[in-house]
Structures are given as C-alpha cells and as structure tokens.
Amino acid sequence: MTTAEHEGLGGAVKASWRRFLDTYEPLRPDLYRYCRHLTRSPWDAEDMAQETMARAFVTLAVMTEAPNNPRAWLFRVASNLWINRTRQTRELPAAFGADVREPAIGAEPRAIREAAGTLIAQLSPQERAAVVLKDAFGLALDEIAEALCTTTGAIKTALHRGRTKLIAPEPEETAPVTPAVLDAFCDAFNARDLDRLTALLLDTATLEYPGLKIEYGAEAVRAGSLTGTLFGCPDGDHGPIEPPRCELRTHRGEPIFLWWSGDAVHAIVRVEVDGDRIARLRNYYHAPEVITEVCRELDVPFCTHGYRTWLVPPPPIGSFNRRA
C-alpha cells in the first residue's frame, strides 16, 4: 500500500467514525449509566463505554442492515462485552463488589435508585444486567431478552433470582497513603514549572485521554498536554481558559487530581505511581459523565466539554454545574 493509499484509508475510516458518532454519541449518557450499574466504578464504566462504542462501530461495518433500535442494540453490545469478561475471569472481579454505593449520575426517582442499589457482587452477570435493564431503564422483557441474547423465560428467572438476593453491607474505607510524588506534582503544576513536572515523570510515562489519544514518553507529555494545559489550552470560542490549578483529592479511597480553571473543575486525572515517579496519567477531560459523577460526590463545581476533541462546545460563562 502506498503512502497516499494509506492516508486515504485513514481519512475514510475517520469520516466513517464521525458519521457513526452522529447517530450513537447522543446515546452515550445512557450507555455510561448502564455500564456504571454493571461495573460499580466510574472509571471501569468509562472504559467499558469506550470499548462498547469501538466494538459497535466495527460490528456495524459487517452487519447486513443497521439495527432498528440503536439504543437497545448498543445495550446488547455492552451486555455481551460484560458477560464475556466475567465468564473469562470465572468470577466477578473484587472491584465489582467493593463499592455498592449508588452512582451520583442523575436525579433518578428513588425507587429506581434503590433498585440499582441491589446490584451487588453476588448476582451473576446475567442477573445483574437483567435487573438494570428492567428497573433502571424500563425495557420490556422481550427487549431485555434481545439485549442479553436469551429468552423471556430466562429473563424472568434472572429477575426473580436477582431481586431476592440480599444487599451486601457497605465496606469501610481505609484512609489511603498518598505518595509524596503526587504532592510534588501539584506544587510544580501550580508553579507552572515544566522542568520539575517532567522530572517527576518516568521517561516511559504516558498521558492518556481515554478513547481519544495517548502521548508516550515524558518529553511527549511535556511538549503536548502539559504545555497546552499550563500555557494556553483553548476553550471553544472563548479563547484560552483561565490558567488551571491542580488539587489533590481522595475519591473513594483513590488519590486523584482535580484540574481547576477559575471556580470550576474542568478535568479529573487519575495517576499511577511507580516508586517515586509517575508512570501514567489518565485525563478525563472528555468524559462528561465521569466528571459529573465524581464532582457531585466531592461536592465541587464543574464544567464538562463533550466527547470529541474536534467539537468542543464552549461552556456557558458563569454557569457551572453544582450538586443540587
């Protein structure tokens, strides 16, 4: 394949992906909420939603006709992904049962919130998915059966078994020990000291915007996202946003960075530490459901930016989201 042919193929794939997003991206909030109920973790839910979208895009390319109900079909792709994961591991990962609190992702009716709270680690993958689709999303039995690739009789059984299982007691959280490198990173970030920031990264460190891009190596991270964030990250039609500041917080036992601009959080960053340096940064700037949930739980004002780097809607000036 020539260079021109390779570039042409890449352009065609990008164009197809953007057309796919025109139809399926409006369904992302529901998809995230479904994944959130299944995984019981905002981070795992975002990863699962990203993987579901990618898998749906590939699957759609080989289907003879487009699905009649895109929302139900997207749930089916996510359900298959969820069930296959848990079958492969032969048991539910510990993280699925470690946090049974209700996700703070919207003002749902109390009955729905309480139903979602029953989805604990003891439920089988199919039971958990069936109860979520029925009680949290209101799907009919035949729609749930289609989403889970089974029969309505099997769904009735899964619902009965799932609803009769007890809620597990909420585990007590232990205070985490915060690595000193995270405090040092905050200090260097707020001082706009790129040299110090770079020195705190492993040479092989990565910075990832989940589902969008990855920067490999400390120098690439410095030249790319860190420089743009500290010295002129644009924000739609409003020009550069106010210079950000970094705050270290703990969310459900995990240290995270909040990157503030003015009076609102614009990004949430997870960190992996290796020894006394940072090995990985994951920036959830383009994950509005994650930002919304985490900031509501921390009770801090926030601003979201949509899913796409090439279509960043400017936030309403002076109108930021807060917990009601």
Per-residue pLDDT of the chain (324 residues; tens, 9 = 90+): 565 555 566 677 788 888 888 888 899 999 999 999 888 889 999 999 999 999 999 888 888 788 888 888 899 999 888 888 777 664 444 433 334 344 444 444 434 444 444 444 567 777 788 888 888 888 888 888 888 877 888 888 878 777 776 344 445 555 556 789 999 999 999 999 999 999 999 999 999 998 888 999 999 999 988 988 887 655 544 455 567 899 999 998 899 999 998 899 999 999 999 889 999 999 999 999 999 999 999 999 999 988 876 554 444 433 345 443
Task: Give the per-residue pLDDT at 174.
Answer: 54
Superfamily grouping for domain 3-163: PhyR, sigma-like (SL) domain (1.20.140.160)
pTM over 0.75: no
Own/partner long-range contacts of 256-259 (Cβ < 8 Å, ≥24 apart): 256/294, 257/182, 257/185, 257/186, 258/295, 258/298, 258/300, 259/229, 259/283
- Angle, helices 70-89 vs 42-61, to 10°: value is 120
Largest CA distance in the chain: 63
Q: How far apart are CA 260 and CA 255, in angstroms?
A: 16
Question: Could you give phi then psi for residue 264, rounded to 5 degrees?
Answer: -140, 150
Quick one: DSSP state of residue 181?
H
pLDDT value of position 146: 80
- What pLDDT does 102 receive? 45
Residue among 295, 106, 124, 276 at smallest CA distance from 205? 276
Q: Which two tokens stand for residue 317?
A: 């000036």
Domain with CATH 3.10.450.50 in the chain: 180-298
Q: What are the tokens at 29?
A: 């909030």
Residue 10 has what pLDDT? 63
Tokens of 269: 């960053």
What is the pLDDT at residue 89?
63
Start and end residues for every CATH 1.20.140.160 domain found in the chain: 3-163
Rounded CA separation 72/321 (Å): 29
How much is the CA Rg of the chain, to the nearest whole Å?
Answer: 21
Token pair of 156, please?
A: 């009735």
- CA end-to-end span of the chain, whole Å? 56
| CB distance 144 to 127 below 8 Å | no
Residue range 180-298, CATH number? 3.10.450.50
Q: How far apart are CA 192 and CA 323, in angstroms?
A: 30
Q: What is the sign of the dihedral through the CA atoms of 310, 315, 317 and 318?
A: negative
Q: How far is CA 77 from the centre of its chain?
A: 17
